[in-house]
Structure 1
Amino acid sequence: MSAISLDHLTLSVGGRSLLSDISLDIAEGAFVGLLGPNGSGKTTLMRAILGLRRPQAGRIAVFGEPVGQGHAAIGYLPQTHAAPPDVGLSGRAFLAASVAGHRFGLPIVSAAARRDIDWALEAVDGVALAERPFSAMSGGQRQRLLIAEALIGRPRLLLLDEPLISLDQHQQHVIVTLVRRLSKEFGLTVLFSAHELNQLLGAIDQVLYLGGGAAVLGTVDEVVTPETLSRLYGTKIDVIRASGRIFVMSGGEHIEREHHHDHAHL
């Protein structure tokens, strides 16, 4: 069974077409990197999979079912957290507040929810964060806790929208390695958005590259070619491989890095 099926999907925001007539299937258990220039529709696609953005045309299915808000099989880590956490909360209280709907005061949750929280903390190697104040956590520890939040409810599909933002190279590697382990250990399908391919090399099974209203899914070697990326970016692209890294270049610029902040949150 496919974890995600896009059937002639068209997505638009504010009258601007981001994806046009896209059809593809992401296999259950695959770890897929979601790449493309900002404004290409990475966040919008995730929101559509969540049922938060209605397609202009076409259909989306998750594990064979039409998408709808609150799909229990999906865990989501947004690029910007909807409710900034109370920095005084401990890791466990933060997760409990998530389960309880971010209510004021110390959250009260059921015994089953407490067990789920304990499982999520253990799954991300975050037991030590349970009693630590959010304010005392490093950026990498905070992202680890947010991944634990996405795991609550034991989803089968994880949508992670730019979880590496503001992390140094070491912490980026730690988070990618963690997500890879979670995918393998629990059979999770992962769609992991990033702005640079090198952050994900060696971890992902496939890459889904968006651009120019189109989408191409395949292995890194199949997708990251001058011909394919030139079509997606709408300009001449050179792909340079050196020292185990891949550089997507246009006019002498490392285009993934230089164009990261052009169009946020699309």
Structure 2
Amino acid sequence: MSPPAVISLKRATLKYGSRTLWQDLNLEVRPGEFLAVLGANGSGKTSFLKILLGLAPLSAGQVMLDGVPAQRGNRTIGYVPQQKNFAQDTALRARDLVGLGVDGDKWGFRIRGRAYRQRVDELLEQVGAASYGRIPVGMLSGGEQQRLRIAQALASNPKVLLCDEPLLSLDLNHQKQVSALVGRQAKANGTAVVFVTHEINPILEHVDRVLYLAGGRFTLGTPAEVMRTEVLSKLYGTHVEVLNVNGRLVVVGRPDSLHDGHPDVELPGTVASELQGMPGQDNS
């Protein structure tokens, strides 16, 4: 028997004024499942995370996290924000940043004893950051900083890990390393992962299902079910080509009359960035 879902949405609808981002979404995410959320800017990906975090209400429907309504400050949720580098002169050490995930929710003066230090050491080791734990975060690379954010998010042993574009500004090598960290967390610890991204290729081997948002509609299924020419063409209401280039997915197309009437909106960067650097492509 499958374990009960830790994320459950029933007939979930989100609207802003007269604009519908998505409606009648029924979704269950179970322990250890890796769900990728894809779509263009403005399609509701980050809003989807805000709903799960209890930071924004649904327009209609229900959302439950581990059996209770979504609410702010839920310690069963770990959150990895969009990648943004610290200033180079930031003096905060790597281990201190991770430590904020251990006791950062407590008020007042704290005596950090052996248990605290051991937990921070465990988290640094878990994400492969033990070697630079005492280095100021401003001196670390973007990939190293993102490992620390993941460690911080895992500090409470969350049942759900929400990742908001965690691969932005990272090179391909660091994208794969961060993706592997999150993928291992899902499978080894039974953590349900919701991973918002423009780019599916770095996470493709870890993804169980894809939620693709576009033009007020959505489609849901395995990568093989969703990332197909006929499926995305139906979703966008215009022809969209999905190609497999040396084992990497490339989406080609320009949906018309979508996104609040703005024509010639570039296809969301699911994997459109894979076109960069390919022969014959104008990347200006």
- TM-score clears 0.5: yes
1:63 pairs with 2:66: yes
* CA 67–145 in structure 1, closer or farther in 2 if over 3 Å, else same: same
Q: CA deviation at 1:130?
A: 1.4
Structure 2 distance, partners of 1:177, 1:38, is: 25
Classify 1:84/1:102 alpha carbon distance in 2 versus 1 (closer, same or farther; 3 Å): farther
Distance in 1 between the 2:77 and 2:25 partners? Answer: 21
SS at 2:92's partner residue? coil
Aligned to 1:126: 129
Summarize the alignment of residues 241-260 of structure 1 with structure 2, pairs less than 5 Å apart: 241-251=244-254, 255-257=267-269
Identity %: 38
Partner residue of 2:32? 29
In the alignment, what sits opposite 1:263?
none
Distance 1:85 1:97 in 2: 20
Aligned to 2:181: 178
Q: Which runs of 4+ in 1 moved over 6 A?
A: 83-86
Distance in 1 separating the partners of 2:19 and 2:111: 44
Q: What's the secondary structure of 1:201's corresponding residue?
A: helix
Which residue number in structure 2 is paired with residue 264 of structure 1?
Answer: none
TM-score normalized by the length of structure 1:
0.86
Give the aligned partner of residue 4 of structure 1: 7
Q: For residues 189-241 of structure 1, what are the alpha-carbon distances to aligned partners after superposition, in whole Å with 9 as ceiling and x for unaligned?
A: 11111102222221212211111222222111111122321233343211111
- Aligned pair 1:100/2:112, yes or no? no
How does 1:42-121 map onto structure 2 within 5 Å?
A: 42-79=45-82, 87-98=90-101, 99-100=103-104, 109=112, 111-121=114-124
Which has the higher mean CA deviation after the structures are superposed, 7-16 or 55-64?
A: 7-16
Is 241-250 or 88-97 further displaced after alignment? 88-97
Change (3 A) 1:85 1:163: farther
How many Å separate the matches in 2 of 1:135 and 1:125?
A: 18
Question: Are the counterparts in 2 of residues 30 and 190 from structure 1 also a CA contact under 8 Å?
Answer: yes
CA–CA separation in structure 2 for the residues paired with 1:146 and 1:29:
20
Query: Measured at CA, do residues 113 and 211 of structure 1 come closer, stay the same or move farther in structure 2, by a change above 3 Å?
Result: farther
Residue by residue, what CA displacement relative to the aligned partner does 1:69-96 show, whole Å, maximum 9, x if unpaired? 1112110012267x98972111112223
1:169 is displaced (CA, Å) by: 0.8
- Of residues 136, 139, 144, the one that matches 2:142 is 139
Gaps of 5+ in 1: 261-266
- Conserved 8 A contact 1:10-1:20: yes
The structure having more radius of gyration, on CA atoms, is: 2
Segment of structure 1 superposing worse, 235-244 or 38-47 = 235-244
Map Cα deviations across residues 43-89 of structure 1 (whole Å, 9 max, x no partner): 100110011111111011112222111112110012267x9897211
Whole-Å separation in 1 of the counterparts to 2:160 and 2:150: 12
Q: Which moved more, 1:234-243 or 1:249-258?
A: 249-258
User: Secondary structure of the residue that 2:250 maps to in structure 1?
Assistant: strand
Distance in 2, Cα, partners of 1:36 & 1:128: 36
**One-letter identity of the residue aligned with 2:267:** I
Q: CA, structure 1 residues 158+97, in 2 after alignment: closer, same or farther (shift >3 Å)?
A: closer
Query: Match of 1:159?
Result: 162
- TM-score scaled to structure 2, two decimals? 0.81
Unaligned runs of 5+ in 2: 256-264, 274-284
**Equivalent residue for 1:213?**
216
Counterpart AA for 2:45: K
Q: Report SS of the residue matched to 2:143.
A: helix
**SS at structure 1 position matched to 2:206:** coil
Helix, strand or coil for the counterpart of 1:2? coil
Q: Is the 2:9–2:26 Cα contact (8 Å) retained in structure 1?
A: yes
Please give the secondary structure, in 1, of the residue aligned with 2:204: coil
